Structure 1
Amino acid sequence: PVERIVTLFVVAREGGHFNGADLVVAAEKAGLEFGDMGIYHRLVDGKRELDPIFSVANMLKPGNFDLARLDALRTPGVSFFMTLPTPIPALDAWDAMLPTAQRLAELLDGQVLDEERNALGRQGIAHIRDQLRGWDRDHEGKEIIFGR
């Protein structure tokens, strides 16, 4: 059961958009794999049978990326999300997701926003880390069932 979803956004600068070809190249450079549901994922050691550490969807509905129509893809941004529990500790998942979002933003000349769509600064990052540290502590020692 999903207990919590942690979200970040990577958005194009004011009034801009990302195009499909740039997005695909940046996603691959950032270590994301295209897969389930037509979106990108960070996998545990490339293992598709485990739930992803986090996923990346198109901000525009329906949220997927149609690779067959890549040249037509224009989006104001993408949503990074991790669903707790993840197959690794929540804090470790965050420590994988944040730099990936930052790298994607850097490659696409975009910016990273928090779940309220405000610029993500040091204070916001520290707050999320504290919450996830608490989440890990509360769930320590509980059996985690892998797979689907």
Structure 2
Amino acid sequence: MNWDPTVALIVAAIGLTAIGLVYLLSQPRKQNSGKRTREAPRREPSLDGESDSEIDRAIDELDQTLSGRGPETARSGDSDVGSRPQPDFEKIVSLFVQAPDGQAIRGPDLVVAAEKAGLVFGAMNIFHRLVDGRPEQGPIFSVANMVKPGSFDLAKLEQLETPGLSFFMTLPGPLPGLDAWEAMQPAAQRMAELLGAQVLDDKRNTLGRQRIAHLRDELRAYDRRHEAQGLKGW
């Protein structure tokens, strides 16, 4: 299994037809590392505890990966299901679902769990949760592979194994931030239960009530700010 130690930064929404894949650090993050966010191009990026140069390098690597995708990666990537209509975003909120040490999530189990959690396989060869009756508005959140390049090759389902999954939502999105979180967090918990895994927060700590409450408060504030500025994406 090709476990890339640089894979921890979630980056999404690069271009109209190529939403960003997710790069996740497989090693523990710095203690002062916070929520992964990236400002839209016209704004100054801010990722608590991460330098701009680190973020730029991750973005550059992502662009290279997307532009260099071969037939093997793109084979099932012709689906537009889960494509984001808007390429720019301001904030990314993420969770990890990680298998116990020394174990892995198997492909067949993953597909069954994803279906039970209401996910569909689509754009970028990853899973997405869509808005009921409004799939064209893009995903509420997406689920990527922790193993580089972040996609799932369902053509090799029986051989597919991964140490974990990355759940991520980009804002603004088709729903208010808090509503999107209230869809993503239970889905991550459900899949973790089905897969015998555990849910970790964006700092790779066990997701607890205090962290959940803090994220909800942040997202409420985000929604209020956007509504006041007339910037709602929903």
In the alignment, what sits opposite 1:4?
91
1:31-81: CA deviation from partner (whole Å, max 9, x where unpaired):
001111100000011533212100000010111111100111110000000
CA contact 2:172–2:233 (8 Å) conserved in 1 = no
In the alignment, what sits opposite 1:74?
161
Which portions of structure 1, spanning 4 or more consecutive aligned residues, are displaced by more than 2 angstroms? 143-146
Provide the C-alpha distance between the structure 1 equivalents of 2:162 and 2:133, rounded to a whole number of angstroms.
27
Aligned with residue 197 of structure 2, among 104, 110, 116: 110
Paired amino acid for 1:25? V
CA contact 2:141–2:180 (8 Å) conserved in 1 = yes
CA contact 2:189–2:199 (8 Å) conserved in 1 = yes
Paired amino acid for 2:137? L
Paired amino acid for 2:128? H
SS in 2 for 1:139: helix
In the alignment, what sits opposite 2:107?
20
Provide the C-alpha distance between the structure 2 equivalents of 1:131 and 1:53, rounded to a whole number of angstroms.
17
Provide the C-alpha distance between the structure 1 equivalents of 2:133 and 2:204, rounded to a whole number of angstroms.
30
TM-score with structure 1 setting the length: 0.94
Paired amino acid for 1:76? P
Q: Work out whether 1:120 is the aligned partner of 2:207.
A: yes
CA shift at 1:129, angstroms?
Answer: 0.5
CA shift at 1:86, angstroms?
Answer: 1.2
Provide the aligned length of Structure 1 versus Structure 2: 146
CA contact 2:226–2:232 (8 Å) conserved in 1 = no
Paired amino acid for 1:106? E
In the alignment, what sits opposite 2:171?
84
SS in 2 for 1:45: coil
Higher strand share: 1
In the alignment, what sits opposite 1:40?
127
CA contact 2:175–2:233 (8 Å) conserved in 1 = no
